Amino acid sequence: MCRGGGMFAPTKIWRRWHRKIKVNQKRYAVVSAIASSAVPSLVMARGHKIESVPELPLVIGDSAEKTSAAIDILKQTRNRRYISRKGSLIVYGTEGAKLVKAFRNIPGVEVANVERLNLLKLAPGGHLGRFVIWTKSAFEKLDSIDGSFDKTSEKKGYILPRSKMVNADLARTINSDEVQSVVKPIKKKVKRAPMKKNPLKNLNTMLKLNPYAKTARRMSLLAEAQRVKAKKEQLDKKRAQIPKEEAAAIKAAGKAWYQTMISDSDYTEF
């Protein structure tokens, strides 16, 4: 007897693990993750302690060369030294910077180059709002890498997506005097469509369509009552007991008819 056994329908190595995604779609996701890192509510929703942070996005200098200096920076920004979960993301701009060695040994803190930003680091688990600390050189390169509304991007065929609305407060836009002066007033009186009734089941509806239906219905009911009464009388007559005198007379008439039939026929009794 086999106890435990193997896994039913185990995962195969030839499973389709990866999906092809358009390049512009990945770029759009990266810039969206960068933009969300500057929204305090999204950053706090991920669990980052940013009450003592002066502003978002946070930009620091490229002066951190040792781990002790890096820890001092994190103490000022997050008020926590040891990080067990996903912590801050340090984005640097110059290749071979000493800042990478300073931050790489701190648990939970990750380092990324501004020219090679990874979406899985900007939004771990698909959740936006990671606390990103930018160096001055990295922050200055953002406009040239992704472009802006005034400058074109270094990436071929890429334009920075614009917001559809200048004012994102939709409720304020709708309730503004300019919009409310143009829109139609609120309809306080609601005109509901009447419910249609089946004339075959509703007598009042049938009378509206056919006034003679009431008379026809009455005549059909009276005719049905007469049929029921006649049938009942007929059954009572059949089921009633016959008196003895009448039964004897019927029996004698039957015998007389039988004798007449025998005498008129060619058969004789033996």
Residues 18-29: tens digit of each pLDDT: 889 888 888 889
How many Cα atoms within 13 Å fall on the side-chain side of residue 227?
6
H or E, element range at 24: helix 23-36
Which three-class secondary structure string do you get for 132-150? EEEEHHHHHHHHHHHCCCC
DSSP 8-state secondary structure symbol assigned to residue 116: G
- CA-wise closest residue to 92 among 68, 109, 71: 109
Tens-place pLDDT, residues 97-154: 777 777 777 777 888 888 889 898 999 888 888 899 888 888 888 888 888 777 778 8
Pairwise pLDDT comparison (227 vs 263), residue with the higher score: 227
- CA-wise closest residue to 155 among 112, 97, 116: 116
Phi/psi of residue 85, nearest 5 degrees:
-95, -170
Query: Token pair for residue 200?
Result: 């075959």
- The yes-or-no verdict on residue 228 having pLDDT over 90 is yes
- The yes-or-no verdict on residue 240 having pLDDT over 90 is no
Q: Are 107 and 70 in contact (CB under 8 A)?
A: no
- Per-residue pLDDT, 78: 46
Banded pLDDT at 75 (limits 50, 70, 90) = low
What single-letter amino acid sits at 72? Answer: D
Distance, in Å, from the CA atom of 169 to the CA atom of 166, rounded to the nearest integer, reads 9
Q: Are 78 and 49 in contact (CB under 8 A)?
A: yes
Tens-place pLDDT, residues 138-171: 888 888 888 877 777 888 878 888 777 777 788 8
